[in-house]
Structure 1
């Protein structure tokens, strides 16, 4: 989607606020002993209260209102009977629509004390996203996002999953420009134009290279098996840089 008027920006900001507030409320409720389904129900209730529709459900028929991925699960984890325990790494991904506008956000959280390597991974995963967002702006190269994140990851000894990419969003959950690499991609020649709406969502890992689909047909797992974190915002490209619309408020 390309923002062409204030009314569109207002609509995008509204759904951005909703998904951000929903994810924050789920993160605040996250505790050992609860199931991923119980956590998802919190998100479902908040989206419904705001008059928003879960994008994974409405677009793809996903079994949950939100995606909740634990430990070895990289993304698209299906909420269910799995009990969250102290020491777990939990990714919450919330995307939804309202009044014809879509927004998408996600973050990884530590439950209780975790090994130092996971503390560092979460801190650096958020930083990788921020570095990518800093490359977004009108008339800048789309490849700059992956170059900057790739340099950061390499300098710190991390890997990036190479088959889960950022994407355009706004009028649908996934739209042009598709497959925006969050790793260095020499074949990328596209330019970010003013008003473009996209996500920035690197998947930073201590060794994972690919995401493979599990037996349930939804959940993705790291190959090779390694911890992975994901942080994501929906942003709008302006002449001054990136405007983040998925902020709580």
Structure 2
């Protein structure tokens, strides 16, 4: 989606706050002994409160309101009977629709106690997202996002998952300009249009490069078993930089 008027901007900012507030509430509730289904219900209740609808459920028939992925699961985890335990790495991804507008956000969380290496991976995963967001502005190359994140990852000895990309969002969960690599690529000459709504969501790892699909047809796993973190915001490309719309408030 490309923002063309104030009503569209207000609509994207509204759903952005909804998913951000939902993610924040789920993160605060995260503790050992909670099942992923119970955590998902917190998200469902909040989306209902705000008058929003789960985007993966609406778009793809996903069997949950949110995606919750634990440890070896790195994305699209189905909420269920899995019990969250001390030391787990939990990714929560919240995307939703309200009044015809979509936004998408996510983050990885450590359930204490966490190892120093996992703390460092999470800190650097968030930094990788911020570096990607810093490349977003009207007229800049889309491929600049992946180049900048790739330099950061390489300098610190990390790898990037190369089959989970950022994407356009706004009037649908996934839309034009299609997939946007968060790793270095060649041959992508696309430029960022003013007002473009998109996600920035690198998947940073200590060794994995690919996500593999599990038997349930949804859950994605680290190909090597190495830890993977994901941090995601929905942003709007403005003349001088990115407006982040998935901030709680």
TM-score range, shorter chain: over 0.9
Counterpart secondary structure, 1:194: coil
TM-score using structure 1 length? 1.00
Question: Does 1:145 pair with 2:148?
Answer: no
Name the residue aligned to 1:32. Answer: 32
Question: Does 1:128 pair with 2:128?
Answer: yes
Question: Does 1:175 pair with 2:175?
Answer: yes
Counterpart secondary structure, 2:103: strand
CA deviation profile, 1:174-210 (whole Å, cap 9, x unmatched):
0011110000011111000100000000000000110
How far apart are residue 15 of structure 1 and its match?
0.2
Q: Distance in 1 between matches of 2:113 and 2:126?
A: 19
**Mapping for residues 17-166 of structure 1, pairs under 5 Å:** 17-166=17-166
Counterpart secondary structure, 2:132: helix
Counterpart secondary structure, 2:136: coil
How far apart are residue 224 of structure 1 and its match?
1.6
Q: Distance in 1 between matches of 2:188 and 2:85?
A: 41
CA deviation profile, 1:27-72 (whole Å, cap 9, x unmatched):
0000000000000000000000100000010100000000000000
CA deviation profile, 1:101-156 (whole Å, cap 9, x unmatched):
00000000000111111000000000000000000000000010000000000000
Q: Distance in 1 between matches of 2:130 and 2:34?
A: 31
Q: Distance in 2 between matches of 1:98 and 1:238?
A: 23
Question: Does 1:210 pair with 2:210?
Answer: yes
Q: Distance in 1 between matches of 2:209 and 2:115?
A: 22
Question: Stretches of 4+ moved more than 3 A in 1?
Answer: none
Q: How many equivalent residue pairs?
A: 249
> Superposition RMSD on alpha carbons, in Å?
0.4
Name the residue aligned to 2:2. Answer: 2
Name the residue aligned to 1:227. Answer: 227
Q: Distance in 1 between matches of 2:90 and 2:134?
A: 26
Name the residue aligned to 1:16. Answer: 16
Counterpart secondary structure, 2:137: coil
Structure 2 gap ranges (5+):
none
Name the residue aligned to 1:188. Answer: 188
Structure 1 gap ranges (5+):
none
